Structure 1
């Protein structure tokens, strides 16, 4: 009887993590470039009370055994890197990636991080940076007198300057991709860090060798679908409730056993 109490408790703990993950997805529904997470579960070890194939008194073998499980545990929280929808902003420094790839940014500690958030800005030196001031890699500096900035689908950054009728190329945006993007470590602030599970990044030019293209004046929205998350939340809530009822039923059965002496 005690086994059922602990088994149901593992289910409640697992569903609590599920609700936590769903809540994080919903809270970032308007975060540019955000990728939702999904919890995967595994059943725990089993106690074998009788092995299948055990000989019986008649000399034959029992066709099935008796196994009792010990509950569930979370196995992984996986990031899903499906494409989010695009929002037109008209801002020339808002750039969406359509397809595979991440922007590269340099953190203050010198390490490179990766992001799908293309809401870029200009700092006081004219460099293209993220909202936190992290410069895009390779570094691109927009001249102070630039009157127009154009980013092509291939990542070429062009500017028009006073006195010139032609667009001058000042840099090239590059993208990075991974063999296993689900293995990236989430840092917050729309940033990811490579890990041994993600593999080393492959860097290339947009629209070439399988890399995505760039769309100027657009932002990639979160890939969270509110209706799906609400349905998942209801299912997790009901699973939590069912496990709590299993604990209550086990408690009542223990109470009945304790009252047998009366």
Structure 2
């Protein structure tokens, strides 16, 4: 293939990446705590030593850099459960990840398991501001509540404080595929910095109409790319025919 074909191929790979991300966003339009992603691309310019004309020496390729999260919060969805909470601002709940380690999520469905631990809807233990699981005595279940600073309260007083972790760059977080994220280098917010809203959870910030528009734009870009490829093929065919007549 010549350089024009490689450039078109890099463009179509970028379109495939956009399609995958837009489809994933659409699939998670009703997933609690999900933040939509958007692709980030870099331009790579390759400069050839020789070319028929000076303008042809530079060839611009599209490189897939990463997927960045849209960190705008989703809408508050009331559930009526006083243990369900939404992070009103930046940050993630830290939980014990399946298989060990720590994972992060913004899905605030919280319940108490049979062992008395605060857990997510998937059964992962919620960690406090010191990185330890939060336990609830059996006699405190009826009076349990969560304060705006993350403090877990019972009739006998505070039992601990739910940790909310922030990261300098949310792009450092990587999806695990189970609704949670992996990350490193986070900072646990202090009580005065933490803002939780109880009685509900954060909905997905995906706007289906925006993703639908993105899918239509990707389709049109694919169609334009195919037309360019056809035009290049026609140009090659004509060039070969003319060279044949000259020979």
What is the TM-score when the length of structure 1 is the normalising length? 0.82
The answer for the alignment partner of 1:61 in structure 2 is none
Q: Which runs of 5+ in 2 are unaligned?
A: none
The answer for the alignment partner of 1:116 in structure 2 is 106
1:189 to 171, 178, 190: 178
1:252 to 210, 229, 234: 234
Q: Does 2:137 match 1:143?
A: yes
Instruction: Give, in angstroms, the shift of residue 30 of structure 1.
Output: 0.6
1:128/1:141 contact within 8 Å kept: yes
Q: Does 2:187 match 1:202?
A: yes
Instruction: For 1:21-32, list aligned pairs within 5 A.
Output: 21-32=21-32
Q: Does 2:134 match 1:152?
A: no
2:35/2:69 contact within 8 Å kept: yes
Q: Which runs of 5+ in 1 are unaligned?
A: 52-63, 161-166
Choose 140-149 or 14-23, whichever is displaced more.
140-149
- The higher radius of gyration belongs to 1
The answer for the alignment partner of 1:176 in structure 2 is 165
The answer for the alignment partner of 2:224 in structure 1 is 242
Instruction: Give, in angstroms, the shift of residue 66 of structure 1.
Output: 5.0
CA RMSD of aligned residues (A): 2.2
1:157/1:172 contact within 8 Å kept: yes
1:44/1:72 contact within 8 Å kept: yes
**SS at 1:14 equivalent:** helix
Number of residue pairs the alignment of both structures matches: 237
**SS at 1:232 equivalent:** helix
1:81/1:182 contact within 8 Å kept: no
1:30/1:222 contact within 8 Å kept: yes
Question: Which structure dedicates a bigger proportion of its chain to helix?
Answer: 2
**SS at 1:17 equivalent:** helix
Q: Does 2:5 match 1:16?
A: no
With over 3 angstroms needed to count, the CA separation of the structure-2 counterparts of 1:253 and 1:38, relative to structure 1, is: same
CA displacement 1:185-211 (0-9 Å, x = unmatched): 21122212224xxxx2211334x1xx3
**SS at 1:76 equivalent:** strand
The answer for the alignment partner of 1:69 in structure 2 is 59
1:155/1:205 contact within 8 Å kept: no
Instruction: Give, in angstroms, the shift of residue 216 of structure 1.
Output: 1.0
